[in-house]
Amino acid sequence: MNLSRRDFSKLGAMGLASRMLPEGFGQTSSRKIGYCVIGIGRIADHFLRGVQESSHSKITGFVSGHRDKAERFAAQYGVPKDSIYNYEDMDRMIDNKQIDAVYVALPNNMHAEYTIRSAKAGKHVLCEKPMSTTVADAEAMIAACKSANVKLMIAYRLHYEPFNLKAIQMIRNGDIGEVQTINGAFGFNSPQGEWRLTKKYGGGGSLFDVGIYVVNACRYLTGEEPASFTGITSTLDHDGRFNEVEENVSWTMKFPSGILATGSSTYGTQMPGYFKVFGTKGWLGMNPAYNYDGLRLQANYWKTPGSPLVKIDEINPERDPKQFAREADHMSECILNNRTPSSPGEEGLRDMRYIKAIYHAAGVDVA
Amino acid sequence: MNLSRRDFSKLGAMGLASRMLPEGFGQTSSRKIGYCVIGIGRIADHFLRGVQESSHSKITGFVSGHRDKAERFAAQYGVPKDSIYNYEDMDRMIDNKQIDAVYVALPNNMHAEYTIRSAKAGKHVLCEKPMSTTVADAEAMIAACKSANVKLMIAYRLHYEPFNLKAIQMIRNGDIGEVQTINGAFGFNSPQGEWRLTKKYGGGGSLFDVGIYVVNACRYLTGEEPASFTGITSTLDHDGRFNEVEENVSWTMKFPSGILATGSSTYGTQMPGYFKVFGTKGWLGMNPAYNYDGLRLQANYWKTPGSPLVKIDEINPERDPKQFAREADHMSECILNNRTPSSPGEEGLRDMRYIKAIYHAAGVDVA
């Protein structure tokens, strides 16, 4: 890869440069960072299995409202019973030296409280996306971690996934020329009764939970921050699921260089996640782009006008939970080497602002 | 195919129902409709070759500003020299009984004048898309053809293309459930100096010429007319090509049922044309969707929840200029049987209104 100084500084601004360095920071100790998992739902299960495959991470605690479930998991991961907390007494973990960091895997609206309480307990925080349900909460989370002198990383697992990183590299290398337009989508069919269908818990609709992948991808693919937005929302499926949040949302974003992007997301149907990037010398895309595994990268471009078409079509053979192992180890290496995570709180805050801007453009009231 | 009465009437409103009937109208005579081609550019060449492969159509005249070029084509297609006209004397074709209809393949801003003059000469009109550069011109074209009692068809060749029709059928059949969201794009790299880069000739930028395919596809795929629009435009490539029209445009459309669509087009790079339709039971897409041949249809859907995934991946083996043959024969059959074309002037007018609405949403002044 040939990165110009300007390209590299652009990557640096996105926090991506360090991920293009050889694996490991050179100084990483053999000590493993101990994580307390807060909230034992579907994604926590991926994280737990990911940590099992990691190099610098281990599970050392649980916070859950279901003691029996927590005890089952604790037994499975070799965590002593006195490292199991509930939501009321979790602040006691300040005295637990086995816990270096927490992984916040709660409904969106609980991210702020549990990040801030963990920071106050002296623990580094790896928090799931979306970072919060409001811009104000995101700002408070950053301030709390700064004040407690702990690291805050948002769990943008695709920032550490080789195929998404390769797509970024190819674009920075100029393989597809100057990027002009990006299209993307991601959505799924949310069952009735899930917390995400309640605005208070989710912050809003699918844009917070899955559309965020498209917003974030457009940013890491371009290396730019979007400057203007349009948005529309709708609900087709009047079965009572969508009384609080919209079913579908689509939007456009314009970046400072003039790159245009469109995005779509939904809670109303399976919408396989993809992005397509059109440049002056060709295109590249991923589909699936955001899944836990099976990611596929395709590209067609010309090295010079008239030269044969270069065709790329590759599937990442890594299986779930490898992305979670990479994510956990990035956080652990940052803690061990006192580095700032490549996807810090400020990265999550930006997406919160853009999500808010899209909803506001669509006339939807979010905080 | 099982079409409910409501579905069929929806198709009828889109002018698509007749294309789902068995080929031929039953009464078609063996007489071939004679076409005079107005403007001998790239697309006219496809049409001429298409007519050679057609069943009910033949070439019987030319209108061109280049007599020598017209004579070469006339010789090739067996058209007598006295059926070659120039832009000044073409009205004389009123006396030419060999010419039943004209095919208008001129720059966009000339469509109105030559459609109206042809109608006044008593000739049916097959006019390329976009129908015109302004809504007022489109309305005048419809009025002129009505007043002259001649047929007006807009050359939406994909309305007669089997794979696009199959995609429509599958959606109407409910194969992918209720449609929620559509994404699409189409663009190409316009060389410096082309008429389409001059606003007066093209009407505006790529939305008139190629984005129109996406707008039109969203309409025939949904069977609905879009009700609201957002749009953004940009120019990245400051090489002087885009002093009059924008390089890139992206937009959203919302349909009355709540279906959301995003679209992108450009004159700044090759943007392979596609659409993706996400429904409650799966998705279908075409890529390429709008090319002259090689069209590919893919779909993944569940017949019932939990049943095995139905996977479709087919390439239309028909080669260019077959689409033009189908288009010409539809027009010819309509003339021979005194039927209204499935893509009449009113269909073109609707797209003109939507293009204008998108540009206006983007703050671009078009007429």
State which residue of chain A sits closest to B273, comparing Cα positions: A278
The CA distance from A271 to the nearest CA of chain B, in Å, is: 6
End-to-end CA distance of chain B: 42
| Per-residue pLDDT reduced to its tens digit, B315-327 | 999 999 999 999 9
Q: Place A305 in a pLDDT band, splitting at 50, 70 and 90.
A: confident
Q: Where are the alpha helices (DSSP H) in A35-154?
A: 42-52, 67-77, 111-120, 135-147
Say yes or no for a CB contact (<8 Å) between B261 and A250. yes
| Per-residue pLDDT reduced to its tens digit, B145-185 | 999 999 999 999 999 999 999 999 999 999 999 999 999 99
At residue B119, the pLDDT reads 98
Say yes or no for a CB contact (<8 Å) between B278 and A261. no
Say yes or no for a CB contact (<8 Å) between A250 and B262. yes
CB atoms < 10 A from the CB of B177, how many?
18
**CATH code for the domain defined by A162-315:** 3.30.360.10
Residues near A197 by beta carbon (within 8 Å), at least 6 away in sequence: A190, A241, A242, A244, A245, A267
CB-CB neighbors (< 8 A) of A181 in chain B? 185, 187, 248, 250, 264, 266, 271
Q: Please report the ipTM that was assigned to this predicted complex.
A: 0.92
- CA dihedral of residues B301, B307, B308, B309 (deg, nearest 10): 10
At residue A19, the pLDDT reads 52
The CA distance from B233 to the nearest CA of chain A, in Å, is: 8
Residue spans per domain, chain B: 7-157, 162-315
C-beta of residue A71 within 8 angstroms of C-beta of residue A339? no
C-beta of residue B203 within 8 angstroms of C-beta of residue B264? no
Least confidently predicted of A158-167, A182-191, A247-256, B299-308: B299-308
Q: What are phi and psi of B185, to 5 degrees?
A: -160, 155
CB-CB neighbors (< 8 A) of A250 in chain B? 181, 252, 260-262
Q: Place B5 in a pLDDT band, splitting at 50, 70 and 90.
A: very low
C-beta of residue A271 within 8 angstroms of C-beta of residue A258? no
The CATH number corresponding to B7-157 among 3.30.70.360, 1.10.10.10, 3.40.50.720, 3.40.50.1820 equals 3.40.50.720
**Of the listed B58, B123, B129, B322, which one is catalytic?**
B129
Across-strand partners of B248? B234, B266
C-beta of residue B62 within 8 angstroms of C-beta of residue B39? no
**pLDDT over 90 (residue B240):** no
**Of the listed B213, B220, B292, B359, which one is catalytic?**
B213
Pairing mode, if any, of strands A124-127 and A152-154?
parallel
Alpha-carbon Rg of chain A, whole angstroms?
Answer: 20
Rounded to whole angstroms, the Cα distance separating A102 from A115 reads: 8
Per-residue 3-state assignment (H helix, E strand, C coil) for A171-226: HHHCCCCCEEEEEEEEEEECCCCCHHHCHHHHCCCHHHHHHHHHHHHHHHHHCCCC
Residue B38, SS3 per DSSP: strand
B330-347: average pLDDT: 98
C-beta of residue B275 within 8 angstroms of C-beta of residue B184? yes
| Per-residue pLDDT reduced to its tens digit, A10-63 | 444 455 544 544 444 455 567 999 999 999 999 999 999 999 999 999 999 999
C-alpha distances out from residue A347 to A212, A326, B37, B335, Å = 12, 18, 58, 62
**Of the listed A114, A213, A267, A301, which one is catalytic?**
A213
A152-158: average pLDDT: 98
Rounded to whole angstroms, the Cα distance separating B204 from A297 reads: 35
* Mean pLDDT over each residue of chain B, to the nearest integer: 93
The CA distance from B188 to the nearest CA of chain A, in Å, is: 10
Q: What are phi and psi of A236, to 5 degrees?
A: -100, -35
Tokens 């440069």 belong to A17
| Per-residue pLDDT reduced to its tens digit, B79-128 | 999 999 999 999 999 999 999 999 999 999 999 999 999 999 999 999 99
| Per-residue pLDDT reduced to its tens digit, B45-73 | 999 999 999 999 999 999 999 999 999 99
**pLDDT over 60 (residue B22):** no
Of the candidates A260, A272, A276, which has its C-beta nearest B234's C-beta?
A260
Largest CA distance in chain B: 68
Helix axes B345-361, B135-147, angle to 10 degrees: 170
Rounded to whole angstroms, the Cα distance separating A251 from B174 reads: 26
Say yes or no for a CB contact (<8 Å) between A252 and B250. yes
End-to-end CA distance of chain A: 42
Mutation target for B interface from A260, A277, A280, A313: give the one with most B CBs within 10 A.
Answer: A260
At residue A306, the pLDDT reads 84
- CA dihedral of residues B318, B261, A255, B363 (deg, nearest 10): 110
Determine whether B292 is an active site residue.
no
What token pair was written down for B165?
Answer: 């029709």
At residue A21, the pLDDT reads 44
Considering the domain delimited by A20-157, tell me its CATH architecture.
3-Layer(aba) Sandwich (3.40)
The CA distance from B239 to the nearest CA of chain A, in Å, is: 13
The reply to whether A20-157 and A162-315 are identical in fold is: no
Q: Place A9 in a pLDDT band, splitting at 50, 70 and 90.
A: very low
Say yes or no for a CB contact (<8 Å) between A258 and B236. yes
CB-CB neighbors (< 8 A) of A361 in chain B? 230
At residue B306, the pLDDT reads 84
State which residue of chain B sits closest to A228, comparing Cα positions: B232
At residue B12, the pLDDT reads 45
Of the candidates A181, A235, A237, which has its C-beta nearest B266's C-beta?
A181
C-beta of residue A37 within 8 angstroms of C-beta of residue A77? no
DSSP string computed for B250-264: EEEEE-TTS-EEEEE
Rounded to whole angstroms, the Cα distance separating B145 from B123 reads: 9
Q: Place B2 in a pLDDT band, splitting at 50, 70 and 90.
A: very low
CB-CB neighbors (< 8 A) of A263 in chain B? 262
Largest CA distance in chain A: 68
Of the candidates B185, B269, B279, which has its C-beta nearest A280's C-beta?
B269
A330-343: average pLDDT: 98
The CA distance from A177 to the nearest CA of chain B, in Å, is: 10
The CA distance from A239 to the nearest CA of chain B, in Å, is: 13
CB-CB neighbors (< 8 A) of B280 in chain A? 189, 237, 268-269
The CA distance from A234 to the nearest CA of chain B, in Å, is: 5
Mutation target for A interface from B278, B300, B313: give the one with most A CBs within 10 A.
Answer: B278
Mutation target for A interface from B178, B260, B298: give the one with most A CBs within 10 A.
Answer: B260
**pLDDT over 50 (residue B338):** yes
A-B C-beta contacts closer than 8 Å? 147
In total, chain A counts a number of residues equal to 367
Rounded to whole angstroms, the Cα distance separating B358 from B192 reads: 25
A92-118: average pLDDT: 98
| Per-residue pLDDT reduced to its tens digit, A230-255 | 999 999 987 889 999 999 999 999 99
**pLDDT over 80 (residue B6):** no
Say yes or no for a CB contact (<8 Å) between B228 and A232. yes
Say yes or no for a CB contact (<8 Å) between B257 and A266. no
Say yes or no for a CB contact (<8 Å) between B250 and A266. no
Say yes or no for a CB contact (<8 Å) between B232 and A230. yes
Per-residue 3-state assignment (H helix, E strand, C coil) for A267-281: CEEEEEEEEEEEECC
Say yes or no for a CB contact (<8 Å) between A232 and B254. yes
Say yes or no for a CB contact (<8 Å) between A269 and B234. no
List the one residue out of B98, B91, B95, B97 whose CA is nearest residue B38. Answer: B91
Determine whether B85 is an active site residue.
no
**pLDDT over 80 (residue A263):** yes
Q: Place B367 in a pLDDT band, splitting at 50, 70 and 90.
A: confident
**pLDDT over 50 (residue B13):** no
Least confidently predicted of A239-243, A309-313, B250-254: A239-243
DSSP B269: E
**Of the listed A32, A58, A123, A129, which one is catalytic?**
A129
| Per-residue pLDDT reduced to its tens digit, A268-283 | 999 999 999 999 999 9
Say yes or no for a CB contact (<8 Å) between B252 and A248. no
At residue A22, the pLDDT reads 41
* Mean pLDDT over each residue of chain A, to the nearest integer: 93
**pLDDT over 60 (residue B16):** no
DSSP B211: I
